[in-house]
Amino acid sequence: MKIFTKFVDLIITANKIIAFVSIVVMMLAVTLFSITRAAGFPMVGNIEIVQLLMVVLIVGALAFTEKEGSHIKIGIIVDNFSPFIQKVLDLIAYAFLFIFCAVIVWSTFLNLDFNQASDLLRIPYYPFKILIIIGFSTWGLEGIRKLIYTFGQSKTDS
């Protein structure tokens, strides 16, 4: 389990760095695009670039956000359940998370087209689709890790 945890942590750290770099690049790009537009020289493809950077940011941050427990949770009803029921619901949620990520990874893999590119700047989509595969795979692995941890806790609590 320790090797699995270290492996997932390594990928999450790499994804986190990619997400941080992409947000800095996006910030600089939006600043540049705003200045050039205000100066009367709008740059072609600025929306495409920002949209692709947004994809990198989101898929890079998914697993890190899951690891930190920062995804939005609404516990109005669940908080009133017993701790055992809450753990059962957590197990179900982590199982669904893994299934969801597996479906996204599989469908993205099946639709991986190396000739597909953006309309204006002809930026190839395949590097971004590969990042989607890596990001959702890592999020699913983090869900599995939490599933195993939660299951292990519930067995020791019983």
Domain range summary for the chain, segments of one domain joined by +: 2-157
Over residues 17-54, the pLDDT tens digits come to 999 999 999 999 999 999 999 999 999 999 999 999 99
> Residue 14: its pLDDT value, please?
96
Query: Residues, the chain, total?
Result: 158
The helix or strand, by DSSP H or E, that contains position 19, with its residue range, turns out to be helix 2-38
Burial pattern 39-77, b for ≥16 Cβ within 10 A else e, equals eeeeeeebeebeebbebbbebbbbbbbbbeeeeeeeeee
> Residue 40: its pLDDT value, please?
94
> Residue 79: its pLDDT value, please?
83
> Residue 129: its pLDDT value, please?
97
> Of 95, 91, 80, 68, which is closest to residue 155 (Cα–Cα)?
91
HSE, side-chain direction, 13 A CA sphere, residue 154: 17
pLDDT beneath 70, residues of the chain: 153-158
Burial degree of 80 (CB within 10 A; 0-12, 13-18, 19+): exposed
